[in-house]
Amino acid sequence: MKTLIFALCAAFIFSSSGALALEWQPAAGYKQVPIWPGKAPDAVPTGPERVETVSDKLVGGKTWIYSAPVSRPTITVYSPKGKNTGAAMVVFPGGGYQILAMDLEGTEICDWLTSRGITAVLLKYRVPGVDKFPKSGHYPKSKIALQDAQRALSLVRARAAEYHIDPHKIGVIGFSAGGHLVAATSTQFGNRLYKPVDAADKVSCRPDFGVAIYPGHLWVDQKKFELFPYVPVTTKTPPQFLLQCEDDKVDPPEHSLVYYRALKKAGVPVEMHLYAKGGHAFGLRRTKEPVTRWTDLVETWLGTIGMTPEK
Q: What is the CATH number of the domain that holds 54?
A: 3.40.50.1820
Judge whether 165 lies within some domain: yes
Angle of CA points 124, 128, 131, to nearest 5°: 140
> Residue 96 pLDDT more than 80?
yes
Total number of domains constituting the chain: 1
Judge whether 311 lies within some domain: no
Where in the sequence is the domain holding 272, given as residue range(s)?
A: 2-304
Mean pLDDT, residues 288-311 taken together: 95
Q: How confident is the model at residue 136 (pLDDT cuts 50, 70, 90)?
A: low
> Residue 1 pLDDT more than 70?
no
Judge whether 68 lies within some domain: yes
Judge whether 310 lies within some domain: no
Judge whether 309 lies within some domain: no
Prediction pTM value: 0.92
